[in-house]
Amino acid sequence: MHESDSTDDSHVSNPPTSPTSRTGRRAAETNPGDGGIRSAASGAVSGILTAIRKHPKAWIAGGAAAAFVILGTGSVALGATVGGSSAVAASTPTATASATRTPTPKATPTPTADPARPVPAAQPAASRIRTCSVASLAQDGRLGNLEAQVVNAKTGQALFDRNGTTAGPTASVLKTLTSAAALATLGPDYRVSTTVVAGSAPGQVVIIGGGDVTLSRLPGGQGAFYTGAPSIQDLAAQTRQALGGQPVTSIVVDTSLFGGPVWQPSWDEHEERVVEGSTPYMTSLMVDGDRDDPGAVESPRSTDPVARAVQYFQQYLGTNVPVSAGAAPAGAKQLAVVQSQPVTTLIEQAMKYSDNTIMEELARLVAIKTGAGNTFDAENAGVLAGLKTYGIDTTGIHIADGSGLSADNAVPPSYLTQLFIKVLNRQNGLGVVYDGLPVSGQSGTLGPGYNRFTGDSAAARGAVHAKTGWIDNGYTLAGIVDAADGTQLTFAVYALGPVSDNAKQAIDALVTGFYRCGDNLSNS
């Protein structure tokens, strides 16, 4: 089409003319009468017809352009016609006659501003409608009184909430808070020391308990439950060497670092110390967490952890000298020292296997370091002081112990969902907490042998990094879900009240629902 348009334009640029058309034009200009007009019109028509026959395309194009101009002019004329009565009057004889007279000046009207139009208020952005519901899973009777919250870890938006701001007992999920407080207060590289110093009498030695529950009675710590544990055998060997052959005449034991009572009053002693074998009397000197079996995760504990530790110290010293309780002399010479693994290693192992003993140690050391005191009662102030570092509101939190064993602990699920965002992002050294979290179907207390994430819930195996918890009146799980749609969620679920062991499977099913829904999780 563009090529034929170009060809036609070359003819239009030199329009044909004829004597008839030129004569007719002059006649019309010099003889304004009717005959002249008709003659001119006739000649013009004849000339135009001749031109059209010779160059039809050019004249068709020209006619279209002329029609466009005429239509445009007509539009202007029509606009003038409908513009007002003055335009109509100008076309009448009266108006023409009036135009020859000097017009009377008219005052220019002062333009008046239109009244301000109301501006609509800014409308809030439309909220996304999420359609993936876990309501039926949340209503499972095995969950008892449910407290739960789920948050998009990237946006911080709460996607699901059931009494999520209500503080409740956390069971072992509390270990997450104890770990965070220990990292902030003691530091990730802090190691717990057990020392021996010279006593006030010749040949007297004083062993000072520094709170290290991992100190092992096994030679070199080999085979102990706690990874890389220091050995009381090594402590005794250093002492003998420092004495340079001088015989040991007496042993003084200083356990004053931890104050009493040695047992938290709200704990069930028979269940936890004897039957379950998860928790010892909390003294600042013990070996292997005071387990009867030093290599077991859980094993019955004794009624005198200090005596058990001193027994092995004496054995490795090769002496049976008198032993007494007391304090180290001020400025006493150090004879020997062994140290625990750093706090990061302690946390990772305690989180993975839900070890109560390490967590009770850390909570007590945090309380001491913050100046809150050295007893169970001091742990609330100490741990809360450590948690302030993370900038999350601690309203409603009460810390009764470091392990979560007490039903008197209280933490809202909403606190945990915020803390786990920081854990996921490895802020302030919290990456070690993430590294220690059990993984669904793979490790720790969510791994093989614990009957978790089985059946339909096996869909979320490997996708849930979370801390488990169980006490008589509740089962809990809190941590991070790598959802099926790629969204990372933080969550906390408490099944509280008269619940039984099958609450764990109901929790797993609910968390698997979170996994399947991802960012499309609905709160309805």
The catalytic site residues sit at 172, 175, 354
Which residue is it, tokens 């007009």?
A: 37
Rounded Cα distance between 31 and 158, Å, is: 93
Q: Which letter, b or e, does each residue of 426-454 get, where b requires 16 or more Cβ atoms within 10 Å of its Cβ?
A: eeebbbbbbebbbbbbebbbbeeeeebbe
What one-character DSSP code corresponds to residue 474?
E
Residues 144/495, Cβ–Cβ less than 8 Å = yes
Q: SS3 for 130-146, per residue? A: CCECCHHHHCCHHHCEE
Give me the numbers of helices (H) and strands (E) for the chain, helices first please: 17, 10
Query: Can you list the pairs that 210-213 forms with residues at least 24 positions away whose Cβ atoms lie under 8 Å?
Result: 210/257, 210/284, 211/257, 211/258, 211/284, 211/361, 211/364, 211/365, 212/339, 212/340, 212/361, 213/280, 213/286, 213/289, 213/290, 213/357, 213/358, 213/360, 213/361
Rounded Cα distance between 308 and 286, Å, is: 7
Structure tokens belonging to residue 40: 């001119």
For 331: left if phi > 0, alpha if psi spans -120 to 50, otherwise beta; the answer is left
What one-character DSSP code corresponds to residue 273?
I
Burial class (CB in 10 A: 0-12, 13-18, 19+), 256: middle
Q: SS3 for 358-370, per residue? A: HHHHHHHHHHHHC
Residues 356/278, Cβ–Cβ less than 8 Å = yes
Structure tokens belonging to residue 427: 């802020």
